[in-house]
């Protein structure tokens, strides 16, 4: 277990301090359960509690989740990113199913470390092994689905990542001393998470959250036929494996988002949830990030003005890369219209049962389809059309191109080796698709202009890189704050530098 100040932790649970929700969990030895710091139950005695940095650590210590405060709905915070990038990458891979087979050796190889070292890092920074983290995620997602939906137990097992219903039942009997169906009998029967063929789940985040900025960003880039944003709701078509569906995401009360999923294969639910978290940056800890960036006098007023600013993610790496290449030397609206033409020409239509009145009609074209097409027919420069086709062919040959690797530097080198991807685009993909919190396009004209001195002199890219050292490991968030301060820049409203056309 990680070192934690027992007195400070006990003070947090005694006052039910919401600032610590998601940061610590308390195990109560007299009951065998673990709780969130905001649990409404009577505060246990000091000598009867232990404190843990994650739900997985509490579960590995032998405690079971509280049925009252429900640890499964606490915000998942990425506060450990500042201390271990390897653990951050491993957690992202686990969230997207990278440890489905409990293969720690394979996970460690993807991260460029040994399995023993990875276990040591997890013990130090998370308080639990990688396998326990993956198992705890399955259990807590299953518990949430039991409480919040009317899915049959067999579908709950499948949707939460269990390999078999038998294993699902055994796990819940061992953990709670009762079958999973017994937990459903005590849930709030007024809730129904499956209406009109859709499954609804709620995901928590730590406030503040600048929803206006996030939805405006996504709305400006919504691909016609694939995405829409209206009345504070983001909707899009999705494809995973051979199946397709639609999702909608909207802000809800109590610092959560409502996610509505219509998809035929519930086994894909963990992957869908992971992607929603990525797009909306739900795991960010704005207090930690903001406090660090505010140490720079130039950033302090920007952080104070928009404390809930997040880095918008991407649903799919290929889709984002195509957008970036299409947008080279043209405006965001022009690039979006061109993407609409691409979708109409090469995207598969959604089944009639999934089409919605809000404008969802197609899937974004697959890499296999684009790899064999001549995109110049869309009315774009031939060199750019060939770059997208070559990119699709490269991804068909290596589907793991957009997966997180050992470090940011390696990721940038790998991305820059792809057709049509220059330094700016590589950093942009790292920010939005790979969720690298330290990605930073130092040559971006908007960033250079934002930090011009009183005489109008802009720093050079090397000078900006030197200045940004103090912003590590949150340089991506620093870039968003500088961009959001009203500066015109390629990512938000302008044109990408001509150097990206290579």
Residue among 309, 426, 327, 326 nearest 385 (CA): 326
- Residue 174, both tokens: 């061992």
- Is 233 within 8 Å of 239 (Cβ atoms)? no
Residue 35 among the catalytic residues? yes
- Residues 6 or more apart whose CB falls under 8 angstroms from that of 277 comprise 76, 95, 203, 283
Tell me the angle at which helices 408-416 and 423-432 cross, rounded to the nearest 10 degrees: 130
Measured distance CA(129)–CA(122) in Å, rounded? 6
- For 455, counting Cβ atoms within 10 Å of its Cβ (0-12 exposed, 13-18 middle, 19+ buried), the class is exposed
In terms of residues, how long is the chain? 502
Measured distance CA(143)–CA(146) in Å, rounded? 5
- Is 276 within 8 Å of 247 (Cβ atoms)? yes
CA 179 to chain centre: 32
Measured distance CA(295)–CA(467) in Å, rounded? 13
The angle at the Cα of 323, spanning 344 to 284, to the nearest 5 degrees, equals 120
In the numeric block, the tokens 């137990």 are attached to 153
Measured distance CA(423)–CA(305) in Å, rounded? 30
Measured distance CA(18)–CA(302) in Å, rounded? 25
Determine which one of 210, 281, 438, 444 is catalytic.
444
Measured distance CA(461)–CA(209) in Å, rounded? 30
- Is 482 within 8 Å of 451 (Cβ atoms)? yes
- Is 258 within 8 Å of 252 (Cβ atoms)? yes
Measured distance CA(372)–CA(393) in Å, rounded? 8
Measured distance CA(31)–CA(262) in Å, rounded? 39
Tell me the angle at which helices 104-111 and 85-95 cross, rounded to the nearest 10 degrees: 130
- Is 279 within 8 Å of 315 (Cβ atoms)? yes
Residue 244 among the catalytic residues? no
Measured distance CA(161)–CA(168) in Å, rounded? 9
Determine which one of 9, 21, 35, 39 is catalytic.
35
Annotated catalytic residues are 35, 444
């Amino acid at each position: 277990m990680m070192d934690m100040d027992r007195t400070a932790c006990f003070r947090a649970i005694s006052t039910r301090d919401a600032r610590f929700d998601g940061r610590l969990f308390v195990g109560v030895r007299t009951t065998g359960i673990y709780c969130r710091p905001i649990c409404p139950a009577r505060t246990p005695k000091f000598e009867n509690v232990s404190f843990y940095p994650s739900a997985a650590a509490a579960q590995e210590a032998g405690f079971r989740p509280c049925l009252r405060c429900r640890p499964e709905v606490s915000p998942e915070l990425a506060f450990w990113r500042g201390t271990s990038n390897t653990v951050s990458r491993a957690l992202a891979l686990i969230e997207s199913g990278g440890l489905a087979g409990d293969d720690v050796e394979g996970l460690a190889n993807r991260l460029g470390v040994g399995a023993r070292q990875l276990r040591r890092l997890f013990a130090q920074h998370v308080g639990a092994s990688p396998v326990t983290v993956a198992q705890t995620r399955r259990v807590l997602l299953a518990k949430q689905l039991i409480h919040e939906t009317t899915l049959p137990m067999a579908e709950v097992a499948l949707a939460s990542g269990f390999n078999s219903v038998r294993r699902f039942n055994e796990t819940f009997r061992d953990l709670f001393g009762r079958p999973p169906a017994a937990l459903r009998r005590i849930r709030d029967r007024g809730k129904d998470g499956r209406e009109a063929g859709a499954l609804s789940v709620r995901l928590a985040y730590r406030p503040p959250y600048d929803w206006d900025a996030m939805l405006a960003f996504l709305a400006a880039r919504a691909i016609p036929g694939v995405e829409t944003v209206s009345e504070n709701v983001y909707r899009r078509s999705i494809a995973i494996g051979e199946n397709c569906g639609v999702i909608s995401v909207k802000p809800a009360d109590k610092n959560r988002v409502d996610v509505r999923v219509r998809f035929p294969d519930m086994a894909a639910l963990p992957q869908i949830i992971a992607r929603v978290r990525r797009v909306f940056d739900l795991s960010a800890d704005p207090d930690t990030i903001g406090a660090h960036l505010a140490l720079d006098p130039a950033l302090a007023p920007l952080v104070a003005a928009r404390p809930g600013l997040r880095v918008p993610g991407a649903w799919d790496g290929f889709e984002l890369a195509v957008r970036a290449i299409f947008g080279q030397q043209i405006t965001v609206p022009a690039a979006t219209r061109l993407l609409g033409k691409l979708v109409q020409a090469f995207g598969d239509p959604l089944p009639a049962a999934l089409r919605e009145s809000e404008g969802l009609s197609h899937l974004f074209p697959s890499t296999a389809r684009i790899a064999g097409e001549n995109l110049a027919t869309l009315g774009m420069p031939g060199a750019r059309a060939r770059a997208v086709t070559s990119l699709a062919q490269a991804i068909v040959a290596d589907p793991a191109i957009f997966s997180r690797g050992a470090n940011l530097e390696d990721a940038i080198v790998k991305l820059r080796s792809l057709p049509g991807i220059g330094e700016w685009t590589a950093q942009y993909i790292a920010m939005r698709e790979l969720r690298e919190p330290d990605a930073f396009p130092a040559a971006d004209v908007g960033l250079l202009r934002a930090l011009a001195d009183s005489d109008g002199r802009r720093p050079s890219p090397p000078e900006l890189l030197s200045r940004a050292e103090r912003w590590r490991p949150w340089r991506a968030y620093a870039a968003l704050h500088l961009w959001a301060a009203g500066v015109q820049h390629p990512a938000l409203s302008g044109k990408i530098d001509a150097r990206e056309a290579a």
